[in-house]
Every structure is written in C-alpha cells, then in structure tokens.
Structure 1
Amino acid sequence: MLNDATPPPVCFVHVTGTQNNKFVEFEFSIGDPDLSVELIMPFDAFEEFCTQHNVQKLSASEQAKIEFDRMKWRYGQPGIKE
C-alpha cells in the first residue's frame, strides 16, 4: 500500500497512431515502459488522461530500444542461430 511518503510510479505513453482523425492509439505503462497495454481514446480524453497520470512521452530513441528488445524476445538474439 502506498503512503504519503511514497512517490507515485512514473507513467509512460507512446503514441502508435490515430484512427479517422478522431482517436489516438497508444501504449500506456506504469513504472516500466517495457510492459504496456494498448489503448485508444478520443483526442480530448487522451490529453486529459495524460495530464491526470502525469505521463512521460517516450522519445523515438527510447521507443526504438523497447521495440528492439521486443524483437529479441520474439525472434531471438540477432546473429545467433539455433
């Protein structure tokens, strides 16, 4: 249980796309940007969500590192053949 002295965990978002110029598709994570859920919201709700959770938006290089790590899990370490 969190107490007043415990800082809240850092929340992250990575925008992955839009739909029909009405919705934002994004990944949301708490504490660890490697573990996320995919969400979709209207633009206004997304901005409110980000403000409410005080999110950090991942940079392109941070997201590229995460994607590279995901690929290693899916397909194995590059250059290593089984």
Structure 2
Amino acid sequence: MIKKINNISGIEGQRYVRVTKVVNEKYVEFEFAIDDPTINVELVLPFEHFKTFCEMNAATHLTPEQEAAVEYDKLKWRFGVPGFEDGI
C-alpha cells in the first residue's frame, strides 16, 4: 500500500499530470503541475515509478478540456497570440 505524503513540498494546490509520450514501452514522459495546469514541468519516469508518483501526490489526470487549454496557452507563448495564425 502506498501512503500519500501530505503536502511534502509545502505548496498548496491540486496536483495534475498529463502524459505526453510513452518511450520504448517502458518510460512515461509527462507534465506535472500544481494548481495551474498551464504552469508545469516535464518529467520522465518508469511506469511503476510514475504510478507511485501520481498516488503519492494525489495527482489528477487532466481532462480533455484542460489539455486543450494547456495547448492553447502554449500556442500563445510560442507565437505571441492565442491560437495559430497564418503567416507566422
């Protein structure tokens, strides 16, 4: 049984994960966020460690709507405006 560590970081907020890629059917590439899914870090862990990480952080997988909002935000940062525009 895995025991959730209550707020070991000292940072309040819901934890989110978003799987972005599976590497060699062994590793999970994912984004991890606290409170705001658009502000995240990219991490890579073996499958079992990813599962443990999610359980210990009580992380929630992003909904499709939240994933779309994250992608929209990335476009805004990449191109300087929300969404993609021709000619850029």
Interval containing the TM-score (normalised by the shorter chain): 0.7 to 0.9
AA paired with 1:65? A
Shifted more, 47-56 versus 68-77: the winner is: 68-77
Q: Percent identity?
A: 40
Does 1:12 find its partner at 2:16?
Answer: yes
CA distance in 2, matches of 1:33, 1:21: 25
CA distance in 1, matches of 2:24, 2:51: 17
Question: Normalising to structure 2: TM-score of the pair?
Answer: 0.75
Shift in Å at residue 50 of structure 1?
0.3
RMSD in angstroms over aligned alpha carbons? 1.6
CA distance in 1, matches of 2:42, 2:77: 19
| From 35, 42, 46, the counterpart of 1:38 | 42
CA distance in 2, matches of 1:43, 1:27: 14
Runs of 4+ in structure 1 over 2 Å off: 76-79
Give the length in aligned residue pairs. 73
Structure 2 contact 38–70 (Cα < 8 Å) conserved: yes
AA paired with 1:74? R
User: Matches of residues 1-82 of structure 1 in structure 2 within 5 Å?
Assistant: 8-77=12-81, 78=83
Gaps of 5+ in 1: 1-7
Structure 2 contact 37–66 (Cα < 8 Å) conserved: no
CA distance in 1, matches of 2:46, 2:73: 30
Match of 2:5 in 1: none
Report which of the two structures shows the higher radius of gyration computed on alpha carbons. Answer: 1
Gaps of 5+ in 2: 1-11
